[in-house]
């Protein structure tokens, strides 16, 4: 939606033209310096989008832009989404550079450890600001641009922990449950404006977040721990960032024109199990 005229029922959108599944669209991707975010920037650009890549890691953003070079214009936006003013600034920079906003993919996240007895309040606040409140701030800035374009797509990254509990991840679990709730509320609030909102719940994905968990273990224990993560998923493997990026691509594209308020596990079957 947005950025190109909507196809009539039963007709193909941009994907049918051979110009790319996001041809003519402007996309904002947060958490773009690594992992799922980087894979999504590269894929979105390859599929014809002009992309604003947002992250606080300037060097990581540089590598993302280098990887996407040749596929389409990518604007690096250095921003800390835990700060009140940065989400609005990121959207404003994208709109100023590319002339509007059609897709918002909020993928940035932090995962502090702790339970009710051990969590530092600063870590709790950081998780809520980056994982959850940033969606509100980004949407508040992006939705008016989408309305002007005739619609748009909001995609968020939640987690399988948004559908389950987990030990020693109190703030992360709470914030990711909130991501699902906020996304469903956005879907309800803005459907009449042609704006869709959907969330993805990844299982264990081979990203820097997983590497930090493994690196905290003694080196001799890491292979077994990685194998243990893989065994949690009926498909018997850990996901790749591209697995989530392709789901985001679908939800961002006009192929998902009748999909809003969806909660999509990309988890190798993890949530199909009773644990």
Q: Which residues are catalytic?
A: 172
- Measure Cα distances from 157 to 122, 150, 163 in Å: 22, 24, 13
Sheet with strand 103-106: strands edge to edge: 74-78, 50-55, 26-30, 103-106, 152-157, 195-202, 263-266
* Polymer length of the chain: 275
SS3 196: strand
Q: What tokens were used for 106?
A: 């909020």
Residue 48 gets the label, from left (phi > 0), alpha (psi -120 to 50) or beta, of: left
Q: What tokens were used for 155?
A: 């995609």
Cα gap 225→230, rounded to integer Å: 9
């Amino acid at each position: 939606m947005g950025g190109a005229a909507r196809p009539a029922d039963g007709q193909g959108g941009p994907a049918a033209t051979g110009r790319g599944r996001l041809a003519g669209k402007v996309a904002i991707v947060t958490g773009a310096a690594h992992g799922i975010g980087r894979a999504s920037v590269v894929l979105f650009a390859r599929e014809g989008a002009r992309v604003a890549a947002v992250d606080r890691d300037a060097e990581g953003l540089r590598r993302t832009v280098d990887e996407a070079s040749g596929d389409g214009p990518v604007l690096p936006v250095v921003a800390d989404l835990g700060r009140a003013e940065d989400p609005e600034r990121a959207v404003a920079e994208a709109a100023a550079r590319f002339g509007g906003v059609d897709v918002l993919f909020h993928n940035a996240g932090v995962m502090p450890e702790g339970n009710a007895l051990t969590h530092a309040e600063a870590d709790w606040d950081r998780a809520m600001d980056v994982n959850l409140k940033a969606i509100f701030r980004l949407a508040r800035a992006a939705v008016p641009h989408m309305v002007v374009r005739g619609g748009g797509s909001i995609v968020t990254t939640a987690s399988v922990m948004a559908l389950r509990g987990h030990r020693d991840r109190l703030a992360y679990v709470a914030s990711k449950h909130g991501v699902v709730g906020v996304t469903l509320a956005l879907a309800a609030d803005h459907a009449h404006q042609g704006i869709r909102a959907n969330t993805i719940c990844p299982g264990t994905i081979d990203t820097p977040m997983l590497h930090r968990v493994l690196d905290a273990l003694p080196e001799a224990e890491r292979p077994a721990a990685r194998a243990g993560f893989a065994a949690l998923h009926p498909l018997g493997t850990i996901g790749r960032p591209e697995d989530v990026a392709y789901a985001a691509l679908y939800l961002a594209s006009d192929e998902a024109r009748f999909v809003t308020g969806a909660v999509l596990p990309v988890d190798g079957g993890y949530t199909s199990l009773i644990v």
